[in-house]
Chain A
Amino acid sequence: MTVLVLMDESDASRQTLTLARRFGEPRSVRMDAVRPFAPDALAAALAHAADELNASAVFAAGTERGNEVMARLAARTGLPFAANCIGATPGNPVEVTRLRWGGSLLEEARLHSPRPIITVAPHTVPADSGPAPVEVDLKPAAGKDLVVHVSDHIKPSNGGVSLAEAKVIVSGGRGVGSKEGFAIIEELAGLLGAAVGCSRAVTSAGWRPHSDQVGQTGTKVAPEVYIACGISGATQHMAGLKGAKRILAINSDPQAPLMLNADYTVTGDLKEIVPAISAEIRKHR
Protein backbone atom coordinates (compact mmCIF):
# COMPACT_ATOMS: atom_id res chain seq x y z
CA MET A 1 0.00 0.00 0.00
CA THR A 2 1.11 3.53 -0.79
CA VAL A 3 0.66 6.62 1.33
CA LEU A 4 1.07 10.07 -0.19
CA VAL A 5 2.94 12.76 1.76
CA LEU A 6 3.14 16.47 0.98
CA MET A 7 6.67 17.42 2.09
CA ASP A 8 9.46 19.92 2.27
CA GLU A 9 12.86 19.80 4.02
CA SER A 10 11.50 20.76 7.44
CA ASP A 11 11.62 18.82 10.70
CA ALA A 12 7.82 18.96 10.67
CA SER A 13 7.81 16.98 7.41
CA ARG A 14 10.10 14.29 8.82
CA GLN A 15 7.87 14.04 11.88
CA THR A 16 4.88 13.66 9.57
CA LEU A 17 6.60 10.72 7.84
CA THR A 18 6.70 8.88 11.17
CA LEU A 19 2.90 8.67 11.33
CA ALA A 20 2.46 8.33 7.56
CA ARG A 21 4.59 5.15 7.40
CA ARG A 22 1.98 3.34 9.49
CA PHE A 23 -0.39 3.71 6.53
CA GLY A 24 1.90 2.31 3.83
CA GLU A 25 5.01 2.92 1.78
CA PRO A 26 5.39 6.70 1.47
CA ARG A 27 5.66 8.57 -1.84
CA SER A 28 6.12 12.32 -1.77
CA VAL A 29 4.87 15.46 -3.45
CA ARG A 30 6.98 18.55 -2.83
CA MET A 31 5.36 21.58 -1.19
CA ASP A 32 7.10 23.74 -3.82
CA ALA A 33 6.06 21.50 -6.73
CA VAL A 34 3.87 24.31 -8.10
CA ARG A 35 5.72 27.62 -8.36
CA PRO A 36 4.70 30.25 -7.54
CA PHE A 37 2.72 28.65 -4.72
CA ALA A 38 -0.83 27.90 -5.89
CA PRO A 39 -2.68 25.84 -3.27
CA ASP A 40 -5.56 24.70 -5.48
CA ALA A 41 -3.13 23.42 -8.11
CA LEU A 42 -1.21 21.54 -5.44
CA ALA A 43 -4.44 20.04 -4.09
CA ALA A 44 -5.45 19.02 -7.62
CA ALA A 45 -2.07 17.36 -8.18
CA LEU A 46 -2.38 15.49 -4.89
CA ALA A 47 -5.91 14.34 -5.72
CA HIS A 48 -4.74 13.01 -9.09
CA ALA A 49 -1.64 11.32 -7.64
CA ALA A 50 -3.68 9.75 -4.82
CA ASP A 51 -6.02 8.19 -7.40
CA GLU A 52 -3.16 7.00 -9.65
CA LEU A 53 -1.35 5.36 -6.74
CA ASN A 54 -4.55 4.24 -5.05
CA ALA A 55 -3.13 5.89 -1.93
CA SER A 56 -4.39 4.60 1.43
CA ALA A 57 -4.07 8.05 2.98
CA VAL A 58 -2.65 11.53 2.36
CA PHE A 59 -0.49 13.30 4.95
CA ALA A 60 1.09 16.71 5.43
CA ALA A 61 2.61 18.62 8.34
CA GLY A 62 0.16 20.72 10.36
CA THR A 63 1.78 23.97 9.26
CA GLU A 64 -0.25 26.85 7.80
CA ARG A 65 0.53 25.66 4.28
CA GLY A 66 0.05 21.98 5.11
CA ASN A 67 -3.37 22.53 6.69
CA GLU A 68 -4.43 24.81 3.87
CA VAL A 69 -3.55 22.42 1.05
CA MET A 70 -5.04 19.39 2.85
CA ALA A 71 -8.31 21.28 3.47
CA ARG A 72 -8.46 22.09 -0.25
CA LEU A 73 -7.76 18.45 -1.12
CA ALA A 74 -10.55 17.40 1.25
CA ALA A 75 -13.00 19.95 -0.16
CA ARG A 76 -12.20 18.97 -3.74
CA THR A 77 -12.49 15.22 -3.16
CA GLY A 78 -15.44 15.40 -0.75
CA LEU A 79 -13.57 13.70 2.07
CA PRO A 80 -13.20 14.49 5.77
CA PHE A 81 -9.95 16.06 7.05
CA ALA A 82 -8.40 15.73 10.52
CA ALA A 83 -5.99 18.61 11.23
CA ASN A 84 -3.08 18.71 13.68
CA CYS A 85 -2.99 15.08 14.77
CA ILE A 86 -0.39 13.81 17.24
CA GLY A 87 -1.36 10.16 16.75
CA ALA A 88 -3.07 8.13 14.04
CA THR A 89 -3.80 4.40 13.98
CA PRO A 90 -4.87 2.80 10.69
CA GLY A 91 -8.18 0.91 10.66
CA ASN A 92 -11.79 1.49 9.82
CA PRO A 93 -12.38 4.00 11.28
CA VAL A 94 -8.91 5.48 11.70
CA GLU A 95 -8.31 6.52 15.28
CA VAL A 96 -6.66 9.88 15.69
CA THR A 97 -5.65 12.13 18.55
CA ARG A 98 -5.61 15.77 17.57
CA LEU A 99 -4.95 19.18 19.06
CA ARG A 100 -7.70 21.63 19.92
CA TRP A 101 -7.44 25.12 21.35
CA GLY A 102 -3.94 25.57 19.92
CA GLY A 103 -2.73 22.54 21.87
CA SER A 104 -4.40 23.28 25.22
CA LEU A 105 -6.76 20.36 24.74
CA LEU A 106 -6.54 16.91 23.11
CA GLU A 107 -9.33 15.24 21.17
CA GLU A 108 -9.61 11.55 20.47
CA ALA A 109 -11.65 11.09 17.32
CA ARG A 110 -12.69 8.49 14.77
CA LEU A 111 -12.02 9.41 11.19
CA HIS A 112 -14.51 7.67 8.88
CA SER A 113 -13.02 7.91 5.40
CA PRO A 114 -12.04 5.71 2.47
CA ARG A 115 -8.91 7.87 2.14
CA PRO A 116 -7.92 9.60 5.39
CA ILE A 117 -6.52 13.12 4.97
CA ILE A 118 -4.41 13.99 7.98
CA THR A 119 -1.97 16.67 9.09
CA VAL A 120 0.52 16.07 11.90
CA ALA A 121 1.01 18.82 14.49
CA PRO A 122 4.65 20.00 14.39
CA HIS A 123 6.95 18.95 17.25
CA THR A 124 4.60 16.37 18.74
CA VAL A 125 5.97 13.22 17.08
CA PRO A 126 9.62 12.07 16.72
CA ALA A 127 11.22 12.61 13.31
CA ASP A 128 11.49 9.68 10.90
CA SER A 129 15.03 8.54 10.14
CA GLY A 130 14.20 6.23 7.23
CA PRO A 131 15.05 6.83 3.56
CA ALA A 132 13.50 9.82 1.79
CA PRO A 133 10.37 8.74 -0.10
CA VAL A 134 10.39 8.67 -3.90
CA GLU A 135 8.82 11.74 -5.47
CA VAL A 136 5.67 11.45 -7.57
CA ASP A 137 5.59 12.84 -11.13
CA LEU A 138 2.88 15.47 -11.23
CA LYS A 139 0.30 16.31 -13.83
CA PRO A 140 0.50 19.97 -15.00
CA ALA A 141 -2.02 22.29 -13.36
CA ALA A 142 -5.22 23.46 -15.04
CA GLY A 143 -5.80 27.22 -15.45
CA LYS A 144 -8.69 27.48 -13.01
CA ASP A 145 -6.54 25.96 -10.27
CA LEU A 146 -3.98 28.73 -10.75
CA VAL A 147 -6.39 31.63 -10.01
CA VAL A 148 -5.21 31.64 -6.39
CA HIS A 149 -1.42 32.05 -6.54
CA VAL A 150 1.30 34.08 -4.84
CA SER A 151 2.04 37.08 -7.05
CA ASP A 152 4.37 39.03 -4.78
CA HIS A 153 6.27 38.81 -1.50
CA ILE A 154 6.77 41.54 1.08
CA LYS A 155 9.84 41.33 3.33
CA PRO A 156 9.35 42.20 7.01
CA SER A 157 9.94 45.91 7.56
CA ASN A 158 11.21 46.13 11.14
CA GLY A 159 14.85 45.29 11.66
CA GLY A 160 14.21 44.33 15.30
CA VAL A 161 14.34 40.90 16.91
CA SER A 162 11.50 38.72 15.54
CA LEU A 163 9.27 37.29 18.24
CA ALA A 164 9.16 33.76 16.83
CA GLU A 165 12.97 33.52 16.76
CA ALA A 166 13.88 35.64 19.81
CA LYS A 167 16.17 33.98 22.39
CA VAL A 168 14.81 36.19 25.17
CA ILE A 169 11.37 37.80 25.38
CA VAL A 170 10.17 40.35 27.91
CA SER A 171 6.39 40.30 27.75
CA GLY A 172 3.80 42.52 29.37
CA GLY A 173 0.12 42.02 30.17
CA ARG A 174 -2.78 44.08 31.41
CA GLY A 175 -0.85 44.52 34.66
CA VAL A 176 1.54 46.89 32.86
CA GLY A 177 -1.36 49.35 33.01
CA SER A 178 -0.92 51.52 29.92
CA LYS A 179 0.88 52.07 26.64
CA GLU A 180 3.40 54.31 28.43
CA GLY A 181 3.86 51.61 31.08
CA PHE A 182 5.70 49.55 28.44
CA ALA A 183 8.73 51.89 28.74
CA ILE A 184 10.11 49.75 31.59
CA ILE A 185 9.43 46.56 29.60
CA GLU A 186 11.28 48.02 26.59
CA GLU A 187 14.15 49.15 28.79
CA LEU A 188 14.67 45.65 30.20
CA ALA A 189 14.29 44.12 26.75
CA GLY A 190 16.91 46.53 25.40
CA LEU A 191 19.40 45.54 28.11
CA LEU A 192 18.86 41.83 27.40
CA GLY A 193 18.80 42.13 23.59
CA ALA A 194 15.30 40.71 23.89
CA ALA A 195 12.10 41.07 21.87
CA VAL A 196 9.05 42.67 23.48
CA GLY A 197 5.94 40.50 23.69
CA CYS A 198 2.49 41.02 25.16
CA SER A 199 -0.87 39.45 25.92
CA ARG A 200 -4.11 39.92 24.01
CA ALA A 201 -5.48 42.25 26.69
CA VAL A 202 -2.68 44.59 25.63
CA THR A 203 -3.25 44.42 21.87
CA SER A 204 -7.03 44.78 22.30
CA ALA A 205 -6.40 47.94 24.30
CA GLY A 206 -4.23 49.24 21.47
CA TRP A 207 -1.11 49.52 23.69
CA ARG A 208 1.01 47.32 21.38
CA PRO A 209 0.65 46.08 17.78
CA HIS A 210 -0.73 42.59 17.20
CA SER A 211 2.68 41.50 15.88
CA ASP A 212 3.83 41.54 19.54
CA GLN A 213 1.05 39.24 20.76
CA VAL A 214 2.04 35.84 22.10
CA GLY A 215 -0.46 32.98 22.16
CA GLN A 216 -3.02 30.94 20.30
CA THR A 217 -4.10 33.76 17.99
CA GLY A 218 -0.74 35.52 18.17
CA THR A 219 2.78 34.16 17.78
CA LYS A 220 4.05 30.85 19.17
CA VAL A 221 7.46 31.48 20.72
CA ALA A 222 10.42 29.32 21.74
CA PRO A 223 12.92 31.49 23.66
CA GLU A 224 15.56 30.42 26.19
CA VAL A 225 13.88 32.74 28.70
CA TYR A 226 10.36 34.22 28.67
CA ILE A 227 9.76 36.96 31.24
CA ALA A 228 6.01 37.46 31.77
CA CYS A 229 5.16 40.69 33.58
CA GLY A 230 1.57 41.23 34.75
CA ILE A 231 0.17 38.41 32.60
CA SER A 232 -2.36 36.09 34.26
CA GLY A 233 -1.64 33.02 32.10
CA ALA A 234 -4.92 32.25 30.33
CA THR A 235 -4.80 28.96 28.39
CA GLN A 236 -4.76 30.90 25.11
CA HIS A 237 -1.64 32.77 26.22
CA MET A 238 0.04 29.58 27.48
CA ALA A 239 -0.68 27.94 24.10
CA GLY A 240 2.04 30.19 22.67
CA LEU A 241 4.60 29.30 25.37
CA LYS A 242 4.96 25.53 24.96
CA GLY A 243 8.34 25.97 23.28
CA ALA A 244 9.75 28.31 25.96
CA LYS A 245 12.69 26.79 27.82
CA ARG A 246 12.42 28.83 31.02
CA ILE A 247 9.55 31.04 32.14
CA LEU A 248 9.91 33.77 34.76
CA ALA A 249 6.59 35.17 35.98
CA ILE A 250 6.33 38.52 37.73
CA ASN A 251 2.88 39.08 39.19
CA SER A 252 1.25 40.63 42.24
CA ASP A 253 -1.05 37.61 42.50
CA PRO A 254 0.89 34.49 43.58
CA GLN A 255 -2.09 32.33 42.54
CA ALA A 256 -2.21 33.60 38.94
CA PRO A 257 -2.08 30.56 36.60
CA LEU A 258 1.18 31.80 35.06
CA MET A 259 2.79 31.89 38.53
CA LEU A 260 1.85 28.22 38.96
CA ASN A 261 3.05 27.23 35.47
CA ALA A 262 6.36 29.11 35.48
CA ASP A 263 9.87 27.88 36.27
CA TYR A 264 10.67 30.97 38.38
CA THR A 265 8.41 33.52 40.06
CA VAL A 266 8.74 36.92 41.66
CA THR A 267 5.72 38.16 43.59
CA GLY A 268 4.91 41.86 43.70
CA ASP A 269 4.39 45.03 41.71
CA LEU A 270 6.04 44.81 38.29
CA LYS A 271 6.40 48.60 38.24
CA GLU A 272 8.98 48.27 41.02
CA ILE A 273 10.44 44.89 40.14
CA VAL A 274 11.15 45.38 36.42
CA PRO A 275 13.17 48.63 36.89
CA ALA A 276 15.05 46.96 39.77
CA ILE A 277 16.08 44.10 37.46
CA SER A 278 17.25 46.61 34.84
CA ALA A 279 19.29 48.46 37.48
CA GLU A 280 20.82 45.19 38.69
CA ILE A 281 21.85 44.24 35.13
CA ARG A 282 23.52 47.64 34.66
CA LYS A 283 25.62 46.97 37.79
CA HIS A 284 27.02 43.88 36.09
CA ARG A 285 28.18 45.82 33.01
Chain B
Amino acid sequence: MRIAACIKRVPITGGRILLTDDGRAINTQHLGFTMSPHEECGVEEAVRLIEANKGDSVVLTLGPAEAVEQLRDAMALGIDRAIHLQTDGQEWDGEGTAAALTAAIQADEAANGRFDVVFFGNESADSGGFQVGIRVAYALGRPCVTGLKKVALDGASVRCEQEVEGGRDVYVVPLPAVLTVKEGLNLPRYPSVPGKMRARTKPVAVSSPARPEPRVELVRLAVPAGQGRRAESLGSGPGAAPAVVEMLQKAGIV
Protein backbone atom coordinates (compact mmCIF):
# COMPACT_ATOMS: atom_id res chain seq x y z
CA MET B 1 0.00 0.00 0.00
CA ARG B 2 1.17 3.55 -0.70
CA ILE B 3 -0.16 6.58 1.17
CA ALA B 4 0.73 10.27 0.83
CA ALA B 5 -0.04 13.16 3.17
CA CYS B 6 0.25 16.81 2.17
CA ILE B 7 0.98 19.40 4.87
CA LYS B 8 1.63 23.14 5.24
CA ARG B 9 3.92 25.01 7.62
CA VAL B 10 2.07 27.76 9.52
CA PRO B 11 3.03 30.09 12.38
CA ILE B 12 1.65 29.56 15.90
CA THR B 13 0.22 33.01 16.32
CA GLY B 14 -0.55 33.09 20.04
CA GLY B 15 -2.80 35.77 21.51
CA ARG B 16 -2.39 38.55 18.97
CA ILE B 17 -1.41 38.64 15.31
CA LEU B 18 1.28 41.19 14.35
CA LEU B 19 1.90 42.04 10.70
CA THR B 20 5.07 42.99 8.84
CA ASP B 21 5.52 46.69 7.98
CA ASP B 22 4.29 46.24 4.42
CA GLY B 23 1.18 44.49 5.75
CA ARG B 24 1.61 41.55 3.39
CA ALA B 25 2.55 38.87 5.90
CA ILE B 26 2.41 37.92 9.57
CA ASN B 27 5.44 39.09 11.52
CA THR B 28 6.81 35.72 12.57
CA GLN B 29 10.05 36.94 14.16
CA HIS B 30 9.10 35.64 17.60
CA LEU B 31 6.81 32.81 16.60
CA GLY B 32 7.11 29.04 16.45
CA PHE B 33 5.74 27.02 13.54
CA THR B 34 3.71 23.89 13.13
CA MET B 35 1.70 21.91 10.61
CA SER B 36 -2.03 22.56 10.91
CA PRO B 37 -4.03 20.26 13.22
CA HIS B 38 -6.11 18.96 10.29
CA GLU B 39 -2.99 17.88 8.41
CA GLU B 40 -1.43 16.33 11.50
CA CYS B 41 -4.45 14.01 11.59
CA GLY B 42 -3.86 13.18 7.91
CA VAL B 43 -0.25 12.27 8.74
CA GLU B 44 -1.33 10.14 11.71
CA GLU B 45 -3.89 8.31 9.55
CA ALA B 46 -1.25 7.64 6.88
CA VAL B 47 1.09 6.20 9.50
CA ARG B 48 -1.65 3.96 10.93
CA LEU B 49 -2.61 2.67 7.48
CA ILE B 50 0.97 1.72 6.67
CA GLU B 51 1.46 0.16 10.12
CA ALA B 52 -1.61 -2.00 9.46
CA ASN B 53 -1.05 -2.81 5.78
CA LYS B 54 2.71 -2.38 5.17
CA GLY B 55 4.04 -0.29 2.32
CA ASP B 56 5.35 3.19 1.77
CA SER B 57 4.26 6.53 3.23
CA VAL B 58 5.33 9.90 1.89
CA VAL B 59 4.79 13.43 3.23
CA LEU B 60 4.76 16.37 0.81
CA THR B 61 4.87 20.09 1.36
CA LEU B 62 5.20 23.22 -0.71
CA GLY B 63 6.96 25.79 1.43
CA PRO B 64 10.16 27.62 2.37
CA ALA B 65 13.41 25.85 3.25
CA GLU B 66 12.43 25.90 6.95
CA ALA B 67 9.37 23.74 6.21
CA VAL B 68 11.76 20.80 6.39
CA GLU B 69 11.08 21.03 10.17
CA GLN B 70 7.43 20.07 9.61
CA LEU B 71 8.47 17.29 7.21
CA ARG B 72 10.77 15.94 9.95
CA ASP B 73 7.89 16.20 12.45
CA ALA B 74 5.76 14.07 10.14
CA MET B 75 8.57 11.54 9.71
CA ALA B 76 9.03 11.48 13.50
CA LEU B 77 5.41 10.26 13.71
CA GLY B 78 6.34 7.42 11.34
CA ILE B 79 6.18 8.65 7.73
CA ASP B 80 8.95 7.01 5.64
CA ARG B 81 10.17 9.85 3.46
CA ALA B 82 9.50 13.40 2.33
CA ILE B 83 9.14 15.47 -0.81
CA HIS B 84 9.89 19.17 -0.33
CA LEU B 85 8.76 21.60 -3.03
CA GLN B 86 10.83 24.54 -1.95
CA THR B 87 9.67 28.14 -2.35
CA ASP B 88 11.45 31.41 -1.68
CA GLY B 89 8.84 32.21 0.99
CA GLN B 90 6.43 34.04 -1.34
CA GLU B 91 2.72 33.18 -1.14
CA TRP B 92 1.40 30.66 -3.64
CA ASP B 93 -2.33 30.59 -4.33
CA GLY B 94 -4.43 27.44 -4.23
CA GLU B 95 -4.21 26.81 -7.97
CA GLY B 96 -0.41 27.09 -8.08
CA THR B 97 0.02 24.97 -4.96
CA ALA B 98 -2.24 22.24 -6.33
CA ALA B 99 -0.48 22.21 -9.70
CA ALA B 100 2.95 21.79 -8.09
CA LEU B 101 1.75 19.05 -5.73
CA THR B 102 0.01 17.24 -8.60
CA ALA B 103 3.21 17.22 -10.64
CA ALA B 104 5.21 15.92 -7.67
CA ILE B 105 2.67 13.18 -6.96
CA GLN B 106 2.63 12.13 -10.62
CA ALA B 107 6.43 12.01 -10.76
CA ASP B 108 6.62 9.89 -7.59
CA GLU B 109 3.89 7.57 -8.87
CA ALA B 110 5.70 7.13 -12.19
CA ALA B 111 8.76 5.91 -10.29
CA ASN B 112 7.18 4.03 -7.37
CA GLY B 113 3.56 3.19 -8.19
CA ARG B 114 0.19 4.68 -7.45
CA PHE B 115 -0.82 6.12 -4.07
CA ASP B 116 -3.94 4.39 -2.76
CA VAL B 117 -4.83 7.49 -0.75
CA VAL B 118 -3.55 11.06 -0.77
CA PHE B 119 -4.50 12.95 2.41
CA PHE B 120 -4.94 16.72 2.71
CA GLY B 121 -6.26 18.98 5.44
CA ASN B 122 -9.77 20.20 4.65
CA GLU B 123 -8.45 23.77 4.55
CA SER B 124 -5.10 25.30 5.38
CA ALA B 125 -4.97 27.01 8.77
CA ASP B 126 -3.58 30.27 7.44
CA SER B 127 -4.94 31.10 3.99
CA GLY B 128 -8.10 28.98 4.29
CA GLY B 129 -8.64 28.50 0.54
CA PHE B 130 -10.66 25.24 0.88
CA GLN B 131 -9.45 23.94 -2.49
CA VAL B 132 -5.98 22.41 -2.80
CA GLY B 133 -6.99 18.78 -2.14
CA ILE B 134 -10.00 19.03 -4.45
CA ARG B 135 -7.92 20.53 -7.27
CA VAL B 136 -5.30 17.78 -6.96
CA ALA B 137 -8.06 15.14 -7.05
CA TYR B 138 -9.50 16.61 -10.24
CA ALA B 139 -6.07 16.83 -11.84
CA LEU B 140 -5.39 13.18 -10.98
CA GLY B 141 -8.91 12.15 -12.04
CA ARG B 142 -9.67 10.59 -8.65
CA PRO B 143 -12.69 10.80 -6.36
CA CYS B 144 -12.37 13.26 -3.49
CA VAL B 145 -14.31 13.31 -0.23
CA THR B 146 -13.86 16.30 2.09
CA GLY B 147 -14.02 17.29 5.76
CA LEU B 148 -13.64 13.75 7.09
CA LYS B 149 -13.81 12.70 10.73
CA LYS B 150 -13.49 8.98 10.06
CA VAL B 151 -11.84 6.90 7.32
CA ALA B 152 -11.98 3.10 6.98
CA LEU B 153 -10.35 1.18 4.14
CA ASP B 154 -12.32 -1.81 2.94
CA GLY B 155 -10.63 -3.72 0.13
CA ALA B 156 -10.71 -1.62 -3.01
CA SER B 157 -12.84 1.14 -1.51
CA VAL B 158 -12.85 3.55 1.42
CA ARG B 159 -15.75 4.41 3.71
CA CYS B 160 -15.71 8.02 4.83
CA GLU B 161 -17.65 9.96 7.47
CA GLN B 162 -18.11 13.69 7.03
CA GLU B 163 -19.42 15.83 9.88
CA VAL B 164 -22.52 17.82 8.90
CA GLU B 165 -25.21 19.64 10.84
CA GLY B 166 -27.18 16.98 12.68
CA GLY B 167 -24.76 14.07 12.41
CA ARG B 168 -22.50 12.53 9.80
CA ASP B 169 -22.85 11.79 6.10
CA VAL B 170 -21.30 8.58 4.82
CA TYR B 171 -19.55 8.19 1.45
CA VAL B 172 -18.02 5.05 -0.02
CA VAL B 173 -15.62 5.65 -2.91
CA PRO B 174 -13.25 3.42 -4.88
CA LEU B 175 -9.47 3.66 -4.44
CA PRO B 176 -7.31 5.42 -5.39
CA ALA B 177 -8.85 8.46 -3.74
CA VAL B 178 -8.02 11.88 -2.38
CA LEU B 179 -9.34 12.53 1.14
CA THR B 180 -9.39 15.86 2.96
CA VAL B 181 -9.60 15.50 6.72
CA LYS B 182 -10.28 17.50 9.85
CA GLU B 183 -8.92 17.53 13.35
CA GLY B 184 -10.78 14.91 15.39
CA LEU B 185 -10.22 12.22 12.72
CA ASN B 186 -7.89 10.60 15.24
CA LEU B 187 -5.70 11.64 18.17
CA PRO B 188 -2.18 12.01 16.73
CA ARG B 189 0.52 10.32 18.78
CA TYR B 190 3.34 12.29 20.38
CA PRO B 191 6.60 11.70 18.51
CA SER B 192 8.84 9.28 20.42
CA VAL B 193 12.52 10.03 20.98
CA PRO B 194 13.61 7.14 18.71
CA GLY B 195 11.03 8.38 16.18
CA LYS B 196 12.64 11.82 16.19
CA MET B 197 16.10 10.29 15.84
CA ARG B 198 15.04 8.18 12.88
CA ALA B 199 13.35 11.18 11.24
CA ARG B 200 16.71 12.98 11.03
CA THR B 201 18.10 10.44 8.60
CA LYS B 202 14.98 9.73 6.52
CA PRO B 203 15.23 10.95 2.91
CA VAL B 204 13.91 14.36 1.83
CA ALA B 205 13.76 14.96 -1.94
CA VAL B 206 14.03 18.68 -2.67
CA SER B 207 13.05 20.55 -5.83
CA SER B 208 12.12 24.15 -6.61
CA PRO B 209 9.10 24.49 -8.89
CA ALA B 210 8.51 27.84 -10.60
CA ARG B 211 5.77 29.96 -9.04
CA PRO B 212 2.96 30.83 -11.44
CA GLU B 213 1.41 34.32 -11.16
CA PRO B 214 -1.32 33.90 -8.53
CA ARG B 215 -4.84 34.54 -9.80
CA VAL B 216 -5.99 35.13 -6.23
CA GLU B 217 -3.39 37.83 -5.62
CA LEU B 218 -2.77 38.94 -2.06
CA VAL B 219 -2.67 42.73 -1.79
CA ARG B 220 -2.54 43.26 1.96
CA LEU B 221 -3.56 41.78 5.29
CA ALA B 222 -5.37 43.46 8.14
CA VAL B 223 -6.22 42.51 11.71
CA PRO B 224 -9.99 42.95 12.14
CA ALA B 225 -11.20 45.43 14.73
CA GLY B 226 -11.71 43.86 18.15
CA GLN B 227 -15.23 43.09 19.32
CA GLY B 228 -14.99 45.85 21.92
CA ARG B 229 -15.56 43.64 24.95
CA ARG B 230 -15.15 45.68 28.15
CA ALA B 231 -13.30 43.20 30.42
CA GLU B 232 -15.21 44.23 33.57
CA SER B 233 -13.61 42.67 36.66
CA LEU B 234 -15.99 40.76 38.93
CA GLY B 235 -13.25 40.42 41.50
CA SER B 236 -10.67 37.82 42.36
CA GLY B 237 -10.64 34.41 44.04
CA PRO B 238 -13.66 32.46 45.34
CA GLY B 239 -15.02 35.67 46.87
CA ALA B 240 -16.07 36.71 43.35
CA ALA B 241 -18.70 33.95 43.20
CA PRO B 242 -21.70 36.10 44.25
CA ALA B 243 -20.82 38.70 41.60
CA VAL B 244 -20.58 35.95 38.98
CA VAL B 245 -23.99 34.55 39.93
CA GLU B 246 -25.48 38.04 39.86
CA MET B 247 -24.13 38.47 36.33
CA LEU B 248 -25.61 35.09 35.34
CA GLN B 249 -28.97 36.12 36.84
CA LYS B 250 -28.96 39.34 34.82
CA ALA B 251 -28.21 37.29 31.72
CA GLY B 252 -31.25 35.14 32.55
CA ILE B 253 -29.17 32.00 33.02
CA VAL B 254 -29.65 31.35 36.75
B223 beta carbon closer than 8 Å to chain A:
yes
Distance between A263 CB and nearest chain B CB, rounded to angstroms: 5
Which residues from A are CB-within-8-Å of B223?
Answer: 104-106
B206 beta carbon closer than 8 Å to chain A:
no
Return the CB mask of B220-236 against A: 1 if under 8 Å, else 0. Answer: 11111011011111111
- Supposing A105-B17, A106-B223 touch, asked if A37 and B169 sit within 8 A by C-beta, the answer is yes
Return the CB mask of A67-93 against B: 1 if under 8 Å, else 0. Answer: 110111011100111111000000001
Interface residues in A234-262 (C-beta closer than 8 Å to B): 234-236, 242, 245-248, 256-257, 259-262
A168 beta carbon closer than 8 Å to chain B:
yes
A64 beta carbon closer than 8 Å to chain B:
yes
**Tally of chain A residues near chain B (CB < 8 A):** 94
Which residues from B are CB-within-8-Å of A64?
Answer: 146-147, 164
- Supposing A234-B14, A280-B241 touch, asked if A68 and B171 sit within 8 A by C-beta, the answer is no
The listed residue with most A CB atoms (<10 A of its CB), out of B223, B230, B236, is B236
Question: How far, in whole Å, are A65 and B146 apart by their CA atoms in the complex?
Answer: 9
Which residues from A are CB-within-8-Å of B231?
Answer: 259-265
A129 beta carbon closer than 8 Å to chain B:
no
B30 beta carbon closer than 8 Å to chain A:
no
The answer to whether A225 touches B253, judged by C-beta atoms less than 8 angstroms apart, is: yes
A266 beta carbon closer than 8 Å to chain B:
yes
Report the nearest A residue to B184, measured CB to CB. A210
A273 beta carbon closer than 8 Å to chain B:
yes
Which residues from B are CB-within-8-Å of A245?
Answer: 251
- Supposing A154-B168, A265-B232 touch, asked if A276 and B131 sit within 8 A by C-beta, the answer is no
Stretch at the interface among A20-28, A131-139, A175-183, A212-220: A212-220
The answer to whether B36 touches A107, judged by C-beta atoms less than 8 angstroms apart, is: no
A112 beta carbon closer than 8 Å to chain B:
yes
The answer to whether B130 touches A280, judged by C-beta atoms less than 8 angstroms apart, is: no
- Supposing A156-B166, A262-B229, A272-B237 touch, asked if A217 and B125 sit within 8 A by C-beta, the answer is yes
Distance between B224 CB and nearest chain A CB, rounded to angstroms: 5
Which residues from A are CB-within-8-Å of B166?
Answer: 155-156
The answer to whether B15 touches A277, judged by C-beta atoms less than 8 angstroms apart, is: no
The answer to whether A273 touches B241, judged by C-beta atoms less than 8 angstroms apart, is: yes
The answer to whether A217 touches B161, judged by C-beta atoms less than 8 angstroms apart, is: no
The answer to whether B184 touches A263, judged by C-beta atoms less than 8 angstroms apart, is: no
Which residues from A are CB-within-8-Å of B209?
Answer: none
The answer to whether A280 touches B242, judged by C-beta atoms less than 8 angstroms apart, is: yes
The answer to whether A269 touches B237, judged by C-beta atoms less than 8 angstroms apart, is: yes
* Range of interface residues on B (Cβ < 8 Å): 35 or more
A149 beta carbon closer than 8 Å to chain B:
yes
- Supposing A75-B135, A105-B223, A235-B17 touch, asked if A213 and B183 sit within 8 A by C-beta, the answer is yes
Return the CB mask of A176-209 against B: 1 if under 8 Å, else 0. Answer: 0000000000000000100000001001101001
The answer to whether A284 touches B245, judged by C-beta atoms less than 8 angstroms apart, is: yes
B143 beta carbon closer than 8 Å to chain A:
yes
A232 beta carbon closer than 8 Å to chain B:
yes
Stretch at the interface among B59-67, B73-81, B210-218: B210-218
The answer to whether B254 touches A281, judged by C-beta atoms less than 8 angstroms apart, is: yes
The answer to whether B173 touches A147, judged by C-beta atoms less than 8 angstroms apart, is: yes
Return the CB mask of B146-189 against A: 1 if under 8 Å, else 0. Answer: 11000000000000010010111111111000000011100100
Which residues from B are CB-within-8-Å of A83?
Answer: 123, 128-131
Report the nearest B residue to A224, measured CB to CB. B251
Distance between A44 CB and nearest chain B CB, rounded to angstroms: 11
- Supposing A101-B128, A192-B253 touch, asked if A148 and B144 sit within 8 A by C-beta, the answer is yes
The answer to whether B171 touches A273, judged by C-beta atoms less than 8 angstroms apart, is: no
B192 beta carbon closer than 8 Å to chain A:
no
Besides A84-B128, A281-B245, 15 new A-B residue pairs in contact (Cβ under 8 A), listed by A number = A67-B131, A72-B134, A81-B130, A83-B130, A102-B125, A109-B217, A111-B216, A156-B166, A206-B187, A261-B227, A265-B232, A266-B235, A267-B233, A273-B241, A284-B249
A residues lining the B interface (CB < 8 Å)? 37, 39, 64-65, 67-68, 70-72, 74-76, 79-84, 93, 98-113, 119, 147-156, 167-168, 192, 200, 203-204, 206, 209-211, 213, 216-218, 224-225, 232-236, 242, 245-248, 256-257, 259-269, 272-273, 275-277, 279-281, 284
For the complex of A and B, the 5 pairs showing the least CB-CB separation, nearest first, are: A257-B15, A210-B184, A276-B238, A75-B138, A80-B215
